[in-house]
Amino acid sequence: MKPSKALQTSFKAACAAAALIGMTVGAAHAADVSNGKALSDSHNCAACHGPGLNKPVSGEYPRLAGQHASYIYWALRQYQIGGDNPNFGRNNAIMKAQVQSLSQSDLKDLAAYIESLDGSLVLKK
């Protein structure tokens, strides 16, 4: 392997390890669905993701209702990190602004609320 390729591989492995450590450290928090609903309402998630977070106002926005909480949590966390880290962050100015003030506990509560909603997501097996 070239030195730069080896460094890139090592960096990705370190990021993955940090993510796993973060998951286990924060695992003690029991998500509060009612706080998640309050956060969804106060941050006006339905403005883009539609009523019940299941009917987006545009094809650019995903359906959220019923999505796995772990996926939602990490997607929101990646928006907090932002595009400054292309290996781990997501780059969307609207979402980054929406989640910057939220704690990791808030993100877990919001994710649990979203997972609790009835949605029209289709799971393929």
More reliable by pLDDT, 29 or 80:
80
Domain ranges of the chain: 29-116
Query: pLDDT grade, residue 125 (50/70/90)?
Result: low
Percent above pLDDT 90 for the chain: 60
pLDDT digits 0-9 by tens, 47-98: 999 999 999 999 999 999 999 999 999 999 999 988 777 777 788 889 999 9
Q: What 8-state DSSP symbol labels residue 29?
A: P
Q: What 8-state DSSP symbol labels residue 85?
A: S
Q: What is the mean pLDDT of the chain?
A: 84
Q: For domain 29-116, which CATH number applies: 2.60.120.560, 3.30.70.1230, 1.10.540.10, 1.10.760.10?
A: 1.10.760.10
Query: pLDDT grade, residue 10 (50/70/90)?
Result: low
- What's the start-to-end Cα distance of the chain, in Å? 37
Contact, 34 vs 107, CB < 8 A?
no
Cα separation, 79 vs 44, in Å, equals: 17
Q: Looking at this protein, which amino acid is placed at residue 106?
A: D
**Closest among 22, 16, 24, 23 to 87, alpha carbons compared:** 16
